[in-house]
Amino acid sequence: MHKRETDNLEQQLREVGLRPTRQRLALAELLFGQGHRHVTAEQLHREARETGLGVSLATIYNTLNQFTEVGLLREVVTNGNHTFYDTNIDDHYHFYWEEQDQLIDIPADKLPLDSLPPLPKGKRVKGVDIIIRLADEEACN
């Protein structure tokens, strides 16, 4: 990554209250240097090791959770405890292709929500998560 992009990542981390440590910057570069993507902790750990970054899986989880807490990532849970981290934090939904264990973005305007059920008193909508599960056609026959 170029110095200018690294400086931008440093600034982004500082703006959300995170100290831009060497490990956080390296992981941020892996996460955000390839455009929008969905990644699991295990995938990011494998990518980090392939680039020579010696971090534990626990460090990966801690960093992903910190990035999620400050709004840099969005957590998407697909099957019970199977979690993806999404670099696209704008409103949108997902297809989940189970056979490939892959998330695919659906733009929010492609799935308009015309109405929601009445909310409990004193509550507001914080967000709406929709995951449409996919299977190969031959698997459905």
Per-residue pLDDT at 139: 59
User: Which run of H or of E encompasses 86?
Assistant: strand 82-86
CATH class given for the domain over 3-83 = mainly alpha
Cβ neighbourhood burial of 31 (10 Å; 0-12, 13-18, 19+):
buried
pLDDT in tens, 35-89: 899 999 999 999 999 999 999 999 999 999 999 999 999 999 998 778 999 999 9
Residue 140 has pLDDT above 70, yes or no: no
39 φ, ψ (degrees, to nearest 5): -140, 145
7 pLDDT tier (thresholds 50, 70, 90): low
Per-residue pLDDT at 113: 84
98 pLDDT tier (thresholds 50, 70, 90): confident
The residue type at 107: P
What are the sequence ranges of the domains in the chain? 3-83, 90-140
Q: What's the whole-number average pLDDT of the chain?
A: 90
Single pTM value for the model:
0.85
Higher pLDDT, 34 or 1: 34
Q: In 16-128, which ranges are continuous DSSP H helix?
A: 22-32, 41-50, 57-69
